[in-house]
Structures are given as structure tokens and as C-alpha cells.
Amino acid sequence: MENILVANNLIKTFERHEKKQKKISFNAVDDISLNVGAGEIVGVLGPNGAGKTTLLRMLGMLMKPTSGEIHMSIDGQIQSDVTKIKANIGYLSGNTKLYGRLSTRELLDILGNIYGLTKEEIDFRIEKISRILNLGEFIDNRIEKLSTGQTQRASISRCLIHNPKLYIFDEPTLGLDIISSNSIIEFMKSEREQGKTVLYSTHYMEEAEYLCDRIILLDKGKIIAQGTLAELKAMTGEDKLRDIFNSLIKEVE
């Protein structure tokens, strides 16, 4: 399997001021290397503060790593240019909200233009996305007027407009009701069938078990284990992902 995204020795250091002149620096992501194969769903799991969001932000090119490098394979070529990589990623997180005062159509139109699509391409994509996500009834309403579920669909449509090769979703199901989160899970599965790649983080173990081809377990900024579910089971002798995780954390300590 060809690797679409490769990261080597990523480190992200944050500095925090505490009281008098003392700067405390810590590594939110501490020497992580990983690769994501084309067409697979990779889950990044870990407790709060494990460094999931920071890792995904770096992979999505929102943040620069303190050290380390990231490459993406685009049409058989290895790229490390930030804007070129961004143009091929659909990034979604709890923090990527939409412009409430615009309508979904206006937003998609502007984004399409920014991604460098032609007018015809944009119209075609909007048409198609609207069909897939069933945006028809509210596509011209201001986003601030939409319901939570509709907003979620509009959010996904934002990631689709440029037809990216890789989706990076940071806890996309966090805080959503069962119907909304199901629609996202189903969306990820259907995209995999289309040959797309998904890298996503969650702390719902069952969800990961159901969805992921491969799992990366993160704790305190380091990878404590990675592999398919079967590999992880064999490694620890546990059956449930929850227990696998617990036993791995104990090992580290």
C-alpha cells in the first residue's frame, strides 16, 4: 500500500509562563513518526492532553512543528509545500466553525475559488455535494439559522468542495447526538469506499473499533502502540480496545 502521508520525528514544544520569569516548556507532541496509507481509515486515540489535537493540527498544516518533517504524496509526487498539502486535505474539528452570516452556497463558492477551482467545477461540486449531504433545503439560508445537524452537514460540505485526497478529522463526533455522529461515521466509511483516506482522532473506543483499519494509541505526546486491532489484541492479549489501552498505559508507567 502506498503511503499518502508520512511524518518523521515530529516534536511540538509549547512554552508557558508561570509566575516570576519562569518559562515552562513541554512537548505536547514528543518525537512522533507515523505514516498513513492511501485508502485506509487511521484512528488516533488517547486521553485528553495526549497531544491528539496538536498532532492533527501539525499534519493538517495549521501549526508548524518545532522539529520534524511532513510529506504528502500527491499524484505520485512527494510534496512538502504547505499550501499544496493544504489544498489536498479536508480538515474538520470542533474548532472549525463556519461563517454564520454567510449561506452554505456562498461559503462553498468562496472556498471553491480559494482552492482554485473554475466556475463550472464549483457549480458541479456544489450540485454533487448538495445531493450527497442533502443540503438542498437550507443551502441558501444563513448558516447561523441552521440546526445543529444541518450545521454539521454544512461543515462536512466545506471539507468536500475541493475533493481532497485525505481527510483529517479531529474528534468529529464529540458532543454530537447519536444521529449526527452516525452520519459522520457513515460518511467516513463511504469515502473510504471511494478510495479516500481518513485520519481521525477520537476518544470513543467503540467507535474506533468499529471504523478503523489501523489504530495509533497516544499518551503524553508519544505513540505507545500502533497497528490493526488484531495486532493490538495479539500484543496485549486483551480483547476490548478499552482494556488494550489500559494495559498499554500501565506498561508505560
Partner 1 sequence: MNGKIIKQLFKKEMLDVLRDKKTVLMMVVVPLVIYPLIMLLSMQVMTTVSQDMAKSTYNICVQGDKLEEYSQLIKDVDEESYSVNLVSSSDIEGDLLNGSIDAYLVVEEKDGSDLINIHYLSASTRSNYAVDVVLEVIDEYAKGETEAALVEAGLDPDKVLNPVKVRYVDKSTAEESTGSLMGSILPFMLVVSILMGTMYPAIDTTSGEKERGTLETVLTLPVTSQELIFSKFLAVGLFGIASALLNLISMCGVMAYMFNMMSSLGAEVFGSFDVSKFIPPMIIGVLCVFAFAIFVSALSMCVCAFAKSYKEANNYITPVTLVVMLASFISFIPNIELTRNMSLVPVANLCLLLRDLLVFKFNYINIMLVLISNIIYGVVAVLILGKIYNSESIMFGDGQAGIQLFEKRSNMKKGGVPTLGDCGFVVILMALIYLYVGSSLQLKYGSAGLVASQLLFVAFPLLVALYSKKSIKDTFKLRLCKPRKLFGGVILGVGTIAWSLVISGISASIFKESAKASQEGLEGYFPEEFVLGLLVMAVTPAICEELFFRGYVFSALENRLKLITAILLNAALFGIFHMSLVKFFTTAFLGGVIAYIGHKSRSIIPGMLVHFMNNTLACVAMYYPLGLVKAFSFLEMTSATDRMLTGLFAVLVAIVCPVLGYKLLDDKKEKISI
165 binds partner 1, rule: CB under 8 A: no
| Bridge partners of residue 218, in order along the sequence | 223
CA within 13 Å, CB half, 140 = 3
Q: Interface with partner 1 by CB under 8 A: which range of 54-62, 118-126, 179-187, 220-228?
A: 54-62
Residue closer to partner 1 (CB basis): 6 or 102: 102
Size of the site for partner 1 (CB under 8 A): 35
- Going by their DSSP bridges, the two strands 166-170 and 214-219 should be labelled as unpaired
Q: Exactly one of 71, 74, 86, 233 binds partner 1 (CB under 8 A); which one?
A: 86
Q: Considering the complex, what minimum distance in angstroms separates the CB of residue 101 from partner 1?
A: 4
C-alpha 71, offset from chain centre:
16
Residue closer to partner 1 (CB basis): 154 or 208: 154
67 binds partner 1, rule: CB under 8 A: no
Q: Exactly one of 158, 165, 196, 214 binds partner 1 (CB under 8 A); which one?
A: 158
Give the N- to C-terminal CA distance of the chain in Å, as an integer.
34
Kindly list the distances between the CA atom of residue 189 and the CA atoms of 39, 76, 207, in Å, as whole numbers in the listed order.
10, 24, 12
**If 0-12 CB within 10 Å is exposed, 13-18 middle and 19+ buried, where does residue 31 land?**
middle
210 binds partner 1, rule: CB under 8 A: no
Q: Interface with partner 1 by CB under 8 A: which range of 58-66, 146-154, 171-179, 211-219?
A: 58-66
113 binds partner 1, rule: CB under 8 A: yes
21 binds partner 1, rule: CB under 8 A: yes
75 binds partner 1, rule: CB under 8 A: no
Q: Exactly one of 38, 74, 102, 229 binds partner 1 (CB under 8 A); which one?
A: 102
20 binds partner 1, rule: CB under 8 A: yes
246 binds partner 1, rule: CB under 8 A: no
C-alpha 179, offset from chain centre:
20
Residue 30 parent element (H or E): strand 22-37
Q: Exactly one of 5, 27, 39, 93 binds partner 1 (CB under 8 A); which one?
A: 93
35 binds partner 1, rule: CB under 8 A: no
Q: Exactly one of 32, 45, 55, 89 binds partner 1 (CB under 8 A); which one?
A: 89
148 grid coordinates: 445543529
174 binds partner 1, rule: CB under 8 A: no
**If 0-12 CB within 10 Å is exposed, 13-18 middle and 19+ buried, where does residue 21 land?**
exposed
Instruction: Please name the residue ranges forming H helices in the chain.
Output: 52-59, 82-86, 104-114, 119-133, 148-160, 178-193, 205-211, 229-236, 241-252
**Would you tell me which residues interact with partner 1 (CB under 8 A)?**
14-15, 17, 20-21, 57, 60, 62-64, 82-84, 86-87, 89, 91, 93, 95-102, 106, 110-111, 113-116, 142, 158
